[in-house]
Amino acid sequence: MDLTSEKAYQRRAPELAYPVVPTSPEKFAEYAHPPHAATDPLHHFLASIHRLKPRRIYELGAGAGELTTRLAKSGYDVTAVELSAELLSAAQLRARLDGVESRIKFVLGDALTHREKGLGFDLVIASLVLHHLDLEPALDAICAHLAPGGVVLIYEPVAFSRTLQWLRERSGVSKDVSPNERQLNSDDLARIVRRFEDVHISYFRLTARVARLFPAGPAYYRAYWLLSCLDALLLPTWKHLSGSVVIEVRRATTQAENR
């Protein structure tokens, strides 16, 4: 992983283009009670967190703190590591504006090498971050922070189909990607599965990706919701064509970790 180029990109990350403002009550309500857990990957990810009821959460890659702050507002204590000083500053400001500073410990550092002292966390989360990182060191960092019996939740974009990748590259949809960014593939998922136990993978975004062709606004959200409902019917059979996954796993035994 090229840290220099990644830091340079993060100085102009899309999240920094918008002023940090207090989070709306409606957005807090959405994160506390995600209404579309069966059809939307983020809502499924959030619903899984609430089902698990963790005491302490460790987050790889806080970004500008949207997820971190909203989880803290839901009552969780979060330790979040972030590589970019600019994004971390935005996250800290957001936490102050939302009144949840006491529930969050922000750490400026490399998620691959940082090790938080203590007995471990009962939940480690990685939301849209592993596809920026070298996978094996990232999995090492996750395992290093898990308490015995701890759970990992991963939400990532995936690309299992070369045909869909070809179409995506020629779709004309604008893409703003970091130097180290790539979608996870089937080999990556196999590497994750080998490191953990009790693996559950949920697949999302087959036809829903077409919604990106709609202009931002009500038309986009209506199309995304309808297509996501269609995906809920199609993906049990066509999961190899999905565009996102949510993975829930538990810490493996020492023997399994060393396979």
pLDDT at 123: 98
- Is residue 115 within 8 Å of 144, Cβ to Cβ? yes
Q: Above pLDDT 90, what percent of the chain?
A: 74
Q: Strand order in 244-251's β-sheet?
A: 104-108, 77-82, 56-60, 121-127, 146-157, 244-251, 196-204
Arithmetic mean of pLDDT over the chain: 89
The letter for the amino acid at 8 is A
Query: How many angstroms from the chain centroid is the CA of residue 158?
Result: 12
Mean pLDDT of 73-98: 96
The tokens describing 11, both together, are 């100085």
State whether residue 127 is helix, strand or coil.
Answer: strand
Contacts of residue 185, defined as CB under 8 A and 6 or more positions apart, other chains included, come to: 158, 159, 160
The helix or strand, by DSSP H or E, that contains position 231, with its residue range, turns out to be helix 218-238
Mean pLDDT of 73-89: 96
Other CB atoms within 10 A of residue 132 CB:
23
Angle between the 25-32 and 66-73 helix axes, to the nearest 10 degrees?
A: 80
pLDDT in tens, 185-228: 999 999 999 999 999 999 999 999 889 888 889 999 999 999 99
Q: Is the pLDDT of residue 245 over 90?
A: yes
pLDDT in tens, 133-158: 999 999 999 999 999 999 999 999 99
Domain ranges of the chain: 3-254
Q: Is the pLDDT of residue 7 over 80?
A: no
The letter for the amino acid at 104 is I
Judged by average pLDDT, the poorest of 16-20, 81-85, 186-190, 198-202 is: 16-20
- Per-residue confidence band for 162, with pLDDT thresholds at 50, 70 and 90: confident
Angle among Cα 113, 119, 125 to the nearest 5 degrees reads 55
Q: Which residue has the higher pLDDT, 100 or 16?
A: 100
Mean pLDDT of 166-191: 71
The letter for the amino acid at 143 is C
Contacts of residue 115, defined as CB under 8 A and 6 or more positions apart, other chains included, come to: 141, 144, 145
Burial (Cβ within 10 Å: 0-12, 13-18, ≥19) of residue 244: buried
Domain spanning 3-254: CATH 3.90.550.10: no
Could you tell me the sign of the dihedral formed by the alpha carbons of 223, 228, 229, 235, in that order? Answer: positive
Mean pLDDT of 58-76: 97
- Is residue 104 within 8 Å of 131, Cβ to Cβ? no
Interstrand relation of 146-157 and 196-204 (parallel, antiparallel or unpaired)? unpaired
pLDDT at 16: 81
**How is the chain split among helix, strand and coil, in percent rounded to 5?**
45, 20, 30
pTM as predicted: 0.89
Mean pLDDT of 234-259: 81
Residues across the chain: 259
| Residue 239 CA: distances (Å) to CA of 161, 180, 244 | 10, 25, 10
Other CB atoms within 10 A of residue 45 CB:
24
pLDDT at 183: 86
